[in-house]
Chain A
Amino acid sequence: MGTDPSPDPWEVARRWPVEQRVEIQSPDGSVWTGRVMPLHHLTGDRVLLLKLDSGYNVGLRIDPGTRFRLLPAEPRDERTGEPVARGPTPPPSGPAVALLTTGGTIASRVDYATGGVRPVRTAAEIMAFYPKLEQDGPVRIVPVVDRLSENITPDDWVRIAHEVVRAFGDGARGVVVAHGTDTLGYTAAALGFLLVDLPGPVVLVGAQRSPDRPSSDGPENLAAAVSVARRAPLGEVVVLMHADLSAHRFALHRGTRVRKMHSTRRDAFQSRNLPPLGYWTEGTLDLSGPVRPPRPGPPRVDGTLDAGAGGLLWFYPGLSAERAAAACAGLRGVIFAGTGLGHVAEIHLPWIRTAIAQGVVVGMTTQCLEGRVDPYVYATGRDLVGAGVLFLEDLLPETAYVKLLWALGQSRDPDEVRRLLATDRCGDLDGRRRPEGAR
């Protein structure tokens, strides 16, 4: 075998460029030929990742005594290249749909050379990725932010809302917002409160299975969202995702009523306390729910959010009054996710009374997620309402928190904030719990 250039071959091997072809002879005599792959962040100490000619990646320990030889590069496999450019197709005509991207992995390409997965972000790449996106008309891609959804902030919600208004101003028939699923529900609620006089649908969409697999739900969700944005007679913010585990039925949920109820399933998004507004099934739209029709427009962003002034507090047995009070220090408003009908332990009453006396708005929702709160069934509830806690019907805790930020952005007067919180704005409070349930 060739050179033995260093007392510690690992010091040499770790500096090899990705794709370098090498032949390695381990101290036990075994010989390995392949291309160097980028190190995985979980790869062990002194382990080199190699793609063998069979296509398998393996990790090899580079111990002292390992010998190696650099090999010339092989001609690259043609099939691992970039997406094939499509011939010029006539630009689709008709009203456009705007596709706002917010980051996350709406699409990812697998790079077979390195084995890595990299997100697809530019408009051209997205079009190459989803060639059928424009089959019913033009789609205009507008990158807004570029973040995984856990890193999306209330300021981003406001930016997205303004981009939605701009897209309608530019003539879009409907708007699709592609978004990571973790906080998609929050963003949907925020857009619901911020946007008024919508002339068409705003459809939020995501993917539960990563797009680097042939079975991803992303392409189907996106195609359905674009179709719904183009056609649905809706003037509100909705979330569209798989209705069940099959790939041909998609549910439309009101943005203020929807929640991610599963960490992995395709049908993770479910409406709470209101049935889905409708379903998109194999090209057919069935809007059977209490939908809000399009408005003549023009749409606008009504107000803004006061992101630093509100909080969300989950009550649990053992939560001390001091800790809870400290968590709410400096806030103008706080939403409790209480137990059952909307309860917290009675030890919290003193600090809650003090806070309310100082002008803090305290709202109550239920950890049950389904059903409404009610202060009059038990003494604790009566004490809380007596202290000035606002019971927020069947608002989801997260939706109530988002609504609080919006209300705090509208007014500095606690009474006005309380009035806004308790008033239906966009179908978020309709006062009815239907026997058929929501899902």
Chain B
Amino acid sequence: MKVGLEIHQQLAPRKLHCRCPVELTETVQGTVERRLRVASGEEMGIDPAAEFQAARESVYRYEWGPSNCLVDLDEEPPTELDPDALDVALTMALLLHARPVDEIEVMRKIVVDGSNTSGFQRTSLIAVGGYVEVEGRRIALQSICLEEDAARKVAETEGIVTYRLDRLGVPLIEISTQPEMESGEEARRVAEEIGALLRATERVRRGIGTIREDLNVSIEGGCRVEIKGAQELRLLPEYVEREAARQKMLLAVRESLRGRGATAPRGPPADLTDTLQGVATGPIGQALRRHGQVLGLRLPGYAGLLRSLPGTTERLGRELADQARACGLNGLLHSDELPNPEIGEDRLRPLREQLGVGGADAFVLVAGTDRRLLLRALEAVARRATAALEGVPGETRDPLPDGRSRYSRPIPGRFRMYPETDIPPIRIDPGRLERLRSTLPERPADRRARLTRQYGLPAEIAGQLVVSGQAGLLETLVAQGRSAALVARFLTQDLPAATAAGDAAFDLSAERMDELLRACEAGEFAKEGLPKILAALKAQGASPDVRQAIAEAGFTGLSMEELSRLAEALVDRNADLVRQRGAGAFSPLMGDLMREVRGRRDGREIAEALRKALRDRAPGAPTP
């Protein structure tokens, strides 16, 4: 098995070819509607990906808002590459031992799905070659590019695709490896290492969707398949292993088909609408109720090969259904799933007769109200079934949240690229590279070691801080006088827990963190109180106030004197217990006192206050 990776990481703080902010927003201030035509009289019919897109002639509706300017709307020429983004890309090139080009030429890559208002994506090759080292193995890199992120699709209805433009133009650094990894786990580790390097530059965007991985997977005898846009690192091994299993299944199916002398499906689909009248439930019943039609296609020699083969959950039937889905149907029904409650044995016989299906043959059924759509879907299914005779077709797939992937479109042909004539070439002068080389960020491994050494942090915590990109924040806060142990606990435990709880985003500035931790160190509340205060801060929404949150969480400050008074009052209230149990009264009383003042003072101080109260109020009793 060979696996390659492409990592796309969004950069901050502004867009690549204009001066807009990179924030995503729910605010829509206006819309425009456009059509795109394939550029300049070029015939796109031969490029399978473009043909696939062109098959649906769409109107594109673009929503614009506070993160947009006329450049995003394709109403103004772009500005030069953002110099800060270019510095990050060059820094990555140096960190990854790649060779920067001497002069950058910004290119236009034709994209006709509407996700770019211009009809192309601006992309620049920054460096080639280089490698990343993971656990002693060097994985060679292909290229480092800087490109614009695309608009995000927010709706798709009959003939109108709606995109929001906030994400359009956000700088993306694209790092591509050679297909040299041998397992999904290795791909994950490489992605993690490159991700940590990216975050070490401290110029990357954070949060969901800001880093995306494309995987390409091929097994011996299989074909290169691209899984595009995975967002969860932990699922990468799953995607790879599942894809390998799928390709293995396809190869096994091919062998069976060849052994049986199966042939490509031929002939027009059969209209089974009358034969199936009376089916009341399921997708077929639903279509018939709406006066729709049912069409069927015979697959000669495919019987039994559409369902899962022994030892795998992958199956050809799903591949065929994906094709129907890509054409806009909800799916299809195939003979390996029949009989079922809707179509019993009694209905199968006339069906098989009408389709001319023999014992070794399979068939598929599609149902719906748009006959043209059904015919197009069956055409796609026939093509896919034919491809099964050859083995694994090259294709692009969408990753699903459960670790599976689904057919999305054919592999694009070689990209149509031509120069962005609105932007002059950019010379990389040696002085710039020198400056970047002298200020390279610390490599993750070095930083882990130094954090451990310098701040006495456990290696695991140091590693977590480096991978998550928060090491810089830790050092900033420590430089302001906060305790390293407290900051580390806060960044690796309290903050992630608070961020994960609920759906709302939670972003606390370094200044507020400092204010919060300073209050904790001053004894206004104990570190156990942090989760409660963070919850209060999060509930405040935008521009939260730390003092207010501390008050809302009930930590209005508890002086040692107050604590002592509370402890003494508790001992007095429980005089009998103290008399009876002596030192044994400490444990139950400590429980009561903790309930009363948890988080407002440190646990040790509470225990000390209780011991002192026991000594003072019951002098005869031995204290623990």
Q: Does B70 contact A (CB under 8 A)?
A: yes
Q: Which residues of chain A are near B425, meaning CB under 8 Å?
A: 40, 42-44, 47, 49, 59
Task: Decide: A55 and B33 in contact? CB cutoff 8 A.
Answer: no
Q: Which residues of chain A are near B125, meaning CB under 8 Å?
A: 52, 54, 56-58
| In the complex, chain A residues 69-108 whose Cβ is within 8 Å of any chain B Cβ | 77-80, 83-84, 107-108
Task: Decide: B119 and A214 in contact? CB cutoff 8 A.
Answer: yes
Q: Which residues of chain B are near A214, meaning CB under 8 Å?
A: 36-39, 110, 112, 118-120
Task: Decide: B76 and A245 in contact? CB cutoff 8 A.
Answer: no
| 5 tightest A-B CB contacts, nearest first | A59-B103, A214-B119, A56-B125, A55-B417, A58-B101
From A112-120, A191-199, A269-277, A379-387, give the one contacting chain B: A112-120
Q: Which residues of chain A are near B70, meaning CB under 8 Å?
A: 264-265
Task: Decide: B39 and A212 in contact? CB cutoff 8 A.
Answer: yes
A-B contacts, 29 listed (Cβ < 8 Å): A30-B129, A32-B128, A40-B419, A42-B425, A47-B427, A49-B103, A49-B105, A52-B125, A55-B417, A56-B107, A56-B417, A57-B107, A57-B125, A77-B414, A79-B44, A109-B40, A110-B42, A110-B418, A212-B418, A212-B421, A213-B119, A214-B118, A214-B119, A244-B32, A246-B33, A248-B33, A264-B75, A264-B76, A265-B76
- Report the minimum CB–CB distance from B156 to chain A (whole Å): 18
Q: Which residues of chain B are near A211, meaning CB under 8 Å?
A: 40
Residues of B in contact with A, size category: 35 or more
Q: Which residues of chain B are near A80, meaning CB under 8 Å?
A: 416
| In the complex, chain A residues 212-244 whose Cβ is within 8 Å of any chain B Cβ | 212-216, 219-220, 244
Q: Does B576 contact A (CB under 8 A)?
A: no
Assembly CA distance A120 to B40 (angstroms): 10
Task: Decide: A215 and B74 in contact? CB cutoff 8 A.
Answer: yes
Q: 0/1 per residue, B70-110, Cβ < 8 Å to A?
A: 10011111000000000000000000000101111101111
Q: B residues bordering A, Cβ < 8 Å?
A: 32-47, 70, 73-77, 99, 101-105, 107-110, 112, 117-120, 123-125, 128-129, 143, 145, 413-419, 421, 424-425, 427
Assembly CA distance A409 to B73 (angstroms): 44
Q: Which residues of chain B are near A246, meaning CB under 8 Å?
A: 32-34
Task: Decide: A107 and B41 in contact? CB cutoff 8 A.
Answer: yes
Selected contact of B47 from candidates A79, A84, A115, CB within 8 Å: A79
Least CB separation from A52: chain B residue: B125
Q: Which residues of chain A are near B418, meaning CB under 8 Å?
A: 110-112, 115, 117, 212
Assembly CA distance A78 to B112 (angstroms): 20
Assembly CA distance A60 to B418 (angstroms): 18
Task: Decide: A265 and B46 in contact? CB cutoff 8 A.
Answer: no
Q: Which residues of chain B are near A117, meaning CB under 8 Å?
A: 40, 418, 421
- Report the minimum CB–CB distance from A23 to chain B (whole Å): 14
Q: Does A209 contact B (CB under 8 A)?
A: yes
Least CB separation from B129: chain A residue: A30
Q: Does A128 contact B (CB under 8 A)?
A: yes
Task: Decide: A110 and B40 in contact? CB cutoff 8 A.
Answer: yes
- Report the minimum CB–CB distance from B173 to chain A (whole Å): 15
Task: Decide: B41 and A79 in contact? CB cutoff 8 A.
Answer: no
Q: Does A129 contact B (CB under 8 A)?
A: yes
Q: Does A266 contact B (CB under 8 A)?
A: yes
Q: Which residues of chain B are near A215, meaning CB under 8 Å?
A: 34, 36, 74, 117-119
On whether A265 and B40 interact (CB within 8 A), knowing A43-B103, A55-B107, A58-B103, the answer reads: no
Assembly CA distance A61 to B103 (angstroms): 8
Q: Does A28 contact B (CB under 8 A)?
A: yes
Q: Which residues of chain B are near A55, meaning CB under 8 Å?
A: 107, 109, 414-417
Q: Which residues of chain B are near A108, meaning CB under 8 Å?
A: 40
Residues of A in contact with B, size category: 35 or more
Task: Decide: A110 and B76 in contact? CB cutoff 8 A.
Answer: no
Task: Decide: A79 and B118 in contact? CB cutoff 8 A.
Answer: no
Least CB separation from A83: chain B residue: B41
- Report the minimum CB–CB distance from B61 to chain A (whole Å): 9
Task: Decide: A247 and B103 in contact? CB cutoff 8 A.
Answer: no
- Report the minimum CB–CB distance from B224 to chain A (whole Å): 15
Assembly CA distance A419 to B199 (angstroms): 74
Task: Decide: B104 and A58 in contact? CB cutoff 8 A.
Answer: yes
Least CB separation from B123: chain A residue: A56
Task: Decide: A79 and B416 in contact? CB cutoff 8 A.
Answer: yes
Least CB separation from B44: chain A residue: A79
Assembly CA distance A264 to B123 (angstroms): 22
Assembly CA distance A214 to B104 (angstroms): 24
Assembly CA distance A392 to B340 (angstroms): 86
Q: 0/1 per residue, A275-301, Cβ < 8 Å to B?
A: 000000000000000000000000000
Task: Decide: B43 and A247 in contact? CB cutoff 8 A.
Answer: no
Apart from A209-B75, A264-B76, list 7 A-B contacts with CB within 8 A: A60-B103, A61-B103, A79-B414, A129-B40, A213-B40, A219-B37, A247-B34
Task: Decide: B39 and A42 in contact? CB cutoff 8 A.
Answer: no
Q: Which residues of chain A are near B129, meaning CB under 8 Å?
A: 30
Q: 0/1 per residue, A17-58, Cβ < 8 Å to B?
A: 000000000101010100000001011100101001011111
Task: Decide: A78 and B46 in contact? CB cutoff 8 A.
Answer: yes
On whether A44 and B103 interact (CB within 8 A), knowing A54-B143, A55-B417, the answer reads: yes
Least CB separation from A32: chain B residue: B128
Selected contact of A57 from candidates B42, B44, B105, B119, CB within 8 Å: B105
Task: Decide: B102 and A61 in contact? CB cutoff 8 A.
Answer: yes
- Report the minimum CB–CB distance from A241 to chain B (whole Å): 13
Task: Decide: A209 and B74 in contact? CB cutoff 8 A.
Answer: yes
- Report the minimum CB–CB distance from A109 to chain B (whole Å): 5
Assembly CA distance A43 to B425 (angstroms): 6
On whether A264 and B77 interact (CB within 8 A), knowing A43-B103, A49-B105, A59-B101, the answer reads: yes
Q: Which residues of chain A are near B75, meaning CB under 8 Å?
A: 208-209, 245, 264-266
Least CB separation from B102: chain A residue: A61
Q: Which residues of chain B are near A56, meaning CB under 8 Å?
A: 105, 107, 123-125, 143, 145, 417
Task: Decide: B424 and A213 in contact? CB cutoff 8 A.
Answer: no
On whether A47 and B103 interact (CB within 8 A), knowing A54-B143, A55-B415, A264-B70, the answer reads: yes
Task: Decide: B419 and A115 in contact? CB cutoff 8 A.
Answer: yes
Selected contact of A84 from candidates B36, B43, B103, B105, CB within 8 Å: B43
- Report the minimum CB–CB distance from A267 to chain B (whole Å): 9
Assembly CA distance A246 to B418 (angstroms): 26
Least CB separation from B31: chain A residue: A246
Of A112, A120, A211, A265, the most chain B CB neighbours within 10 A belong to A112
Assembly CA distance A213 to B128 (angstroms): 28
Q: Which residues of chain A are near B34, meaning CB under 8 Å?
A: 215, 246-247
Q: Which residues of chain B are near A30, meaning CB under 8 Å?
A: 99, 128-129
Selected contact of A212 from candidates B40, B46, B413, CB within 8 Å: B40
- Report the minimum CB–CB distance from B560 to chain A (whole Å): 67
Q: Which residues of chain A are near B43, meaning CB under 8 Å?
A: 79, 83-84
Task: Decide: A247 and B35 in contact? CB cutoff 8 A.
Answer: yes
Assembly CA distance A115 to B413 (angstroms): 18
Least CB separation from A265: chain B residue: B75
